[in-house]
Structures are given as structure tokens and as C-alpha cells.
Structure 1
Amino acid sequence: MTAGAPAMRLWIAQTALMLAACTGAADACAAEDPIALARAGTAAIEARRFGDALEAFTKAAELQPGDASLCFGAGVAAFMLGQNDVAQTRFECALARDPDFLPATVWLADLHYRAGRLSEAIALYEAARQRSPGERELQPQLDHWRKEQELQSRFHEARSEHFTALFQAPADEPLARAVAERLEAAYWRIGKTLGVYPSRRITVVLYTREQFGDITRLAAWSAAAYDGRIRVPIGDALKDPDELDRVLSHEFVHALVSMVGGRAVPAWINEGLATVLEPAGSHEVEAALGRTDDRPALSTLHGSFVRLSARDAEIAYASAARAVRRLIERRGVAAVVALLEDLGRGAPFARAFHQRLAMRYEAFSALVARESH
């Protein structure tokens, strides 16, 4: 499961409104290039055309070097494209122009957190609180991160060729090494299937079930999470090695999708591909559709599944898996990977889908709906 998407959608909406307000407040010289570019960038963010938004805001920021919101807009677009280094530079640019620009602080801190730089995320929030003591909306997240930092300070590390496993008790080191080894197997199996491999080392954090719930704040049905790191509640994991392999493979695919396609990949593709590429495939998961008449439209499955009930999540995962399996049967896995790569470069989803799958998205959605009944 990919974590954090609902909050991110809310921030995108707030960001679009804020940027629209900034551009709308401009003076009568609305025909000047920076203003027109900022409006185009805002419209592109609202339409989730993040490549267009990055280009527009980057140009606008160059033309109007005193405006923090323009750097911020570029940072949001780069973040959603998975271009983390660019996003960091743009958010830092916004804060250099205006240290009190709170949205840039929030997004930059989130970027650091997802990359495992918890100390940097905390430092940003602490600095913002010191500059604005009356600003209290950051405090709950700051307290939560401090709690996680205290827990993480007690963790040990086990490394394999492509993975770093963090674990708390020294007695858990054999388990951590086993997790890393199983992830290595997933790395080669899934990488060979898709024809792509991660561009950087991946960290997996091993928790007790209670710790996992406290840190991720996900629903009780969640088996694991990926938010820049793979987070797994372990318990007696080695007593059911097949289930451990399933969970680790699933989360590894999320990591790979994030690196290839960025953060704008629809959830049904992300979760469906992760399910289809589990060691045993997706047929058992898809069987849930035989136990209900509910068939959610793909258009309703673009956002994260994290806030769904257990029953609705089961149907959503089954529907996503069936749709992705249908894509692969029709056009092959290479076409799905090409679609992800296009999204990572900023192509609008509907256009990229049509180009790579040789079928309009609306037509495919209708096809899946017909075949599901």
C-alpha cells in the first residue's frame, strides 16, 4: 500500500487555490509573462498535468525572482513527478525568497521525511514554529515525528546489495537479514519481468504491529506501507514465509512504480500492478469480485485506498488487479511500463494511456466494467 496520498490531494487542492489567489491578486499588468505562466501552472496542477506545471512555474520563477509562490509551484509539480532533487531545490528556493512561506516548509519537510531524513524534516518544522510561535497547525506532526525519531534512534541496520533493513532488537537481526534476502529475490524477479530496476537503495523498516500502527496511522487491515520507505509489521513473519514474500513483493513494486512513474500514478495501476506481480499472482485477490455485485468504476480508484473500509479495500484491490491484468493481456507488460515512464516525464494520464495502450482510457474503463458483470 502507498501511504500519504489523501493528505497530499488535500494539499494539492489548497496549493492550487493559494497559487490562484496569488496570481489573481496581480495588478493590471496581467498580460506579463510571469503572471500568464503562473496561471497556466496553476491550471496544470489542478488538471494534474505536472510536467506542464513544472515548465510553467520554472519559467515564471526565473522571470519574477522575488515571488516565493512560483518556486513553490515548481516544487509541487516536481514532487508529484518524483523528481525529488528538483523538488527540494525549488522548495528551498521558495524559502530563500520568503522564510515564512509555510506551504514550502510543509512540502520540503515531507520530502525529507519520505527520503528517511527525519532530522531535517523536524528541523524545518522547529524553525517554522520558532519564527511563528502562534502557528500551531505544525505541532501535531512535529510531535509525531519526534516520537518516531526517538524510536528510530534505537534501531540497528542490516544491509544487502540493494536494501537496508532497520530493526529494533538485536535478536531480530536474523529476521532483518532474511527480509533483505527475500527483497533481493523480489528485486531480480520483478525487475526481470518489468525490464526496469530501482535507481537507488531502498530502506525497509521492521516494526511490531503496535509500532506500525502508531507510526503509519493506517487502517488495521493494512499489511504494510510504502511512503518512500517500505514499512512492515513483522511479528512472527517467518512462520508464514509465503505471506512475507507476498507483502514484500507488493511493497517493492510500489517503490519501483514511484521511481519510474512519480507520485501521480493512479492508485488502481499502482495497487493493481503490485498485486498482479505478487509471487502467487492476483487470482485469489480477484476472487473477491465473485462474492459481491459491487464494481467500482476505475475513475473512482485513482486516489489512495488507505481510507477505505476493509470490505471496500478488498473490492478496490480486486478491481485494480483485474484491470491491470487485462492491460497486460491486451498490450503486454512493456506497454504498462512505458505508460509509467510517460507519467514520470509529466505526460497527462489520458494522453499517455491512449498512446501506450492504443485505446482511450474511457473506452478501457467501459470495457472493464462490461467484463466485470
Structure 2
Amino acid sequence: MTSKKFFKSVSVKEALDEISKIASNYSINTETLEFYNATNRVLATDIISKENIPNFNRSRMDGYAVKFDETTGSSETMPSIFNIVGNVEIGSSPTFSINNGECAYVPTGGEIPKGANSIVMIENTELISDSELLVYKSTSFNENITLKGEDISINEIVIKKYTKLNSFHIGVLASMGITEIPVLKKPTVSIISTGDELVSVYKKNLQGTEIRDINSYCLKSQLENIGCIVNNISIVKDNYDSLKKEILKTIDNSDFIIMSGGSSVGERDYMNALLSELGEVLFHGIRMKPGKPVLFGTINNKAFFGLPGNPVSCALAAELYVSSFVFSLNNITNKKLFGNFKLDTNLHSFPGKTTFQMVDINDGIASPIMGRSSMIKMLANSKGYIEIDESIEGLYKDSDVNVTLFK
């Protein structure tokens, strides 16, 4: 199959739109988990309550249950007087009712006796005997009472489909007695690093021009952080047939493939040709710096990402495009963290290209980390990045800049 675009650059937005289209064609399977194992998983259906929470009217604080209108006009100088007819115990329903002129002690969380419609805080009362109470402040209807179903009501959608569950959602599920929930299965991905110079990270003594495979493990960490399962990591030499064999071996067992290195237009950069033969190239090249030679397409209707070999370019491309793909698969918004900071120096950009500048953050100041995209320490020192639109020529010192923060 021929390529649609051979190093014909698209904009960042066009690239994201193309990636989103492919993600929308996927059908992600589901699995059922115990609710306490579902943190950071994506909910596959709406969670609808089958009961009211609370299931009874309960007191919000320690006090006395009364009829609210009988406290009207109560004050320090003219208190109302009530007969105490009982005490409510936590976990037990009261066996008595409140009639005119009567009250009962109710602890925080205790059930409100029938006939009562307000709770007087204990600090606004005074016992004058074991059976009589003075009330020094008037109350309103349902004051200090949480009504039945006020928190969660029957048939209410409590957690919406495609929500990424956090610890608070787990607590809500526990409150409703929902112990098993359907979630989307984690997408599976294979990572292929290509380059004659690459060797295992476990090799201790490098020889000649050997370089340890950085990108695979940086990508693995990024992918697992956004909810993927990395089921294969491999290093393949810059050989067309070897790369083709590895792609065909992994494609059936993965939801998508990432290859780092070989995405440019050098003599031994085979990625475009491979994807053209095995599937379809949707774009090759994005108007951005660093990271221009990003390639994207499909093989057997599965997404294929070709990322640059330079570590910074590779990590940034994964942050921008692979994460967007994964979030689209899960039908959730890519919730990036942003912060507004002062720029501590003039910053050059590249008109006609969207510029991404790695920065360090200290005391509200964003400091650009200068260096080439092959410099490994840029990754470790970066707290986030500034995105400069392709129409802007640069930013001045002391400009307010919006920084996308790494999680």
C-alpha cells in the first residue's frame, strides 16, 4: 500500500485529529474487577444507585430532636422548655415518636425519631433535670438533618461511564455495596527500538559506539502511567527484513505498536517504507520542534507510531500523541496539569513550527533547559514544557507562560 504523505508535514492539531479518528475505530473489551482493585481504571458503564444513602433521616451533629416550630422565639432570656422522652443510640432505630413539647437526644449520625423535624445543637441547650431541657435558640425546618436519599438517591447515576476511578470513587462504591464493576481492559502495546548502535540496558561495559536502549524504558514508564500494558520490548538492528519480521510477530498480540528510531528520511530509516508496505501511512512529519519526524498510520487496523530516536523528541512525542491516543481509546479527556509562571529569559522559537521548550520550575519561575534533543539529562531536569504556537516568533523575558507540567 502506498503512503499518503511522505514527509509532508501536518500541524500539531491535524496530527491529533488524525490520531483521534483512528482511536474512535477501536472497540475496547471490558473485564470485571473487585471494586477495591479498580483504582485508576476506566469505568465501562454508568454506576446507578439501587438504594438511598442515607437510608434514613439522620442527625448531622450531637443535639436534641424537636419540632422546629416549637423553638420559635427561643433565646438566652426566654428559653423554650421540653420534656425529654428518650435517647437515640447509633445503629438502632428509635422506638418512640416526638410529640408536642417533647424532645430526644440524638448523636451525630443517629436516626431522627418520627415526629421530629429539626435538631437543636447541644451547645444551645441546658439540662435542668433528667427529664427536662431548656432550648436557647430557635431552629428551622430540617435544620442539622441529613434527609433520606439526600446524599445519593435511588436510580441516580452516581459515577458516569468512562470515568477514571480514584480512591474517592472506591469509597462511594463501598457505600453503595457495589463490590464488582466492569472496567475497560488496559490497552496492550509493543515497543520496538531500532538502531545498530543500541544494546540492552543491562550491558555494563559499552564498546565503541554502543548506546543503551533508553527510549524503550522511558516509553514503558510513560505508557504504564497512563494505563497501558507493555507486553513486549525488543531491540532490532537497522535491517528492513528484521524490522518487518518483528512488526508482524507483535502486531497480533498488541492493540498498537510504537517504534522508536528510523522515522526520519536517512538512508537506513525504513519506517515509512515498512508502514507503506504493511499498512497505511496517515502522516509523516509534524510541524513541531523538537520531534518533527513523527510517523503515524495503521497495520491491520491497528495504530502504529513511529517516534524519533532522540530521547527528548521521543519522550515528548509520546507525551503529546501516544497519550492522546490512549485517552481517546478510553473516551476520557487527557487531563493535563498546567501552571502559570514567569519566564526568566528571552526564548527563541521557530516560526512555522510549534515549538516545545522543556523547562525547570523553581519559586514560580520557568527556566528553559537548553540543549539538543539527544541530550539525556534534559529529561531528568525537566518539570514540564512550554508550547509556542507556530505563528509566534518567540517569548520575552518576564512573560507569563503556561507550562504543561509532567505528572
Which entry has the higher C-alpha Rg, 1 or 2? 2
* Shorter-chain TM-score range: under 0.3
Give the strand-richer structure, 1 or 2.
2
TM-score (norm 1): 0.23
TM-score (norm 2): 0.22
Give the helix-richer structure, 1 or 2.
1
